[in-house]
Amino acid sequence: MPELPEVETTVRGLERVLLDRRIERVELRRPDLRRAMPEGLGQRLTGARVTGLRRRAKYGLIDTDREDTLVFHLGMSGRWRVDPSEVEKHDHVLLDTDDGHRVALNDPRRFGSLDLVRTSELDAWPAFAALGPEPLDISGRELRARLQGRSAPIKALLLDQRIIAGLGNIYVCEALYRAGIHPTRAGGSISLARLERLATAIREVLVEAIAAGGSTLRDFASPAGELGYFSKTFAVYDREGRACTCRSTVERIVQGGRSTFFCSRCQR
DNA sequence: AGATATTCCTGGAGGC
DNA sequence: TGCCTCCAGGAATATC
């Protein structure tokens, strides 16, 4: 499922075909994803030139010369298909460029979203206004400041986009494992030294996944369409009952309705 | 206000 | 083989 590394990879893939191109045609193949499609999406996008592609947290941003930014979230099964040979089931939006390329937003489970936001108003846009800092820039000190006084388990706090924006279940589990921190530990009770380790672990695990092209479970495809073109082996995620490198066994618990995978010998 | 539960949706997995 | 139930995920919303 797409997390920050997959979104980063997707944005870089889309950049290859969309940057500086004019969007010649927009086809909406259904009226909604998770929510209704933005008002006037087709008209506002048709004829616009793409001036930049960016990522914020788990959102991809497509800036245009009309001062509009198309903001997409891939949910858990979304992907952009680049130059698909044919339209497939669950291709919900098609964008055709002036030089003959096509990108298709495919999302079987429709947990994703599309929004068109005035570029100058992005920071105040409700979904963005409360977002915490980017995990790739996070420091131990900043983590400490944001976890101060919080009694909830560190696992749940790291998934809270207001505290740190862009981590999902997979990378939270992996980062906590690397940092040797038990997922049930109260966020506010972790020492600065261990939070420094955690900040480093978060940055490292994301950088490695981005370098590898975004990890994949069942339903992520790169923008070029090759399914499962990257396979990363997780240390703990989805490895319940299997051996940790310490020869102990990876455990699974449920926190806030989400599975947490960890090694109780390596994580304290 | 902080913590937790519920909702959305589909396809894949596993049970019988 | 087919039908059934369960589960995965992020974010918005509701409720304690």
**Could you tell me which residues are beta bridge partners of residue A106?**
A79, A91
Per-residue pLDDT for A264 more than 50?
yes
**A221, A79 contact by CB (below 8 A):** yes
Q: Say how far A166 CA is from C2 C1', in Å.
A: 41
For range A100-113, the mean pLDDT: 91
Of chain A residues 44-73, which have a beta carbon within 7 Å of strand C? 57-59, 73
pLDDT of residue A165: 92
CB atoms within 10 A of CB A170: 23
CATH architecture assignment, domain A140-262: Orthogonal Bundle (1.10)
DSSP state of A221: B
The structural domains of chain A, with segments of one domain joined by +, span 4-129, 140-262
Q: Is A84 a catalytic residue?
A: no
Q: Residues A121-179: pLDDT tens digits?
A: 998 888 898 899 999 999 999 999 999 989 889 999 999 998 999 998 989 999 999 99
Q: Residues A212-263: pLDDT tens digits?
A: 775 543 333 444 444 333 445 789 988 888 899 999 999 888 888 888 999 9
Q: Residues A7-43: pLDDT tens digits?
A: 898 898 899 999 999 999 999 998 888 888 888 899 9
Closest protein CA to C1' of nucleotide B3, residue: A152
Residue of A3, A6, A174, A251 marked active site: A3
The CATH number of domain A4-129, selected from 3.30.428.10, 3.40.50.150, 3.40.190.10, 3.20.190.10: 3.20.190.10
**Could you tell me which residues are beta bridge partners of residue A102?**
A96
Strand B: which nucleotides have any atom within 7 A of a protein Cβ?
A: 2-12
Confidence (pTM): 0.92
Q: Is A232 a catalytic residue?
A: no
Q: Is A54 a catalytic residue?
A: no
Cβ contact A185 with chain B strand, < 7 A? no
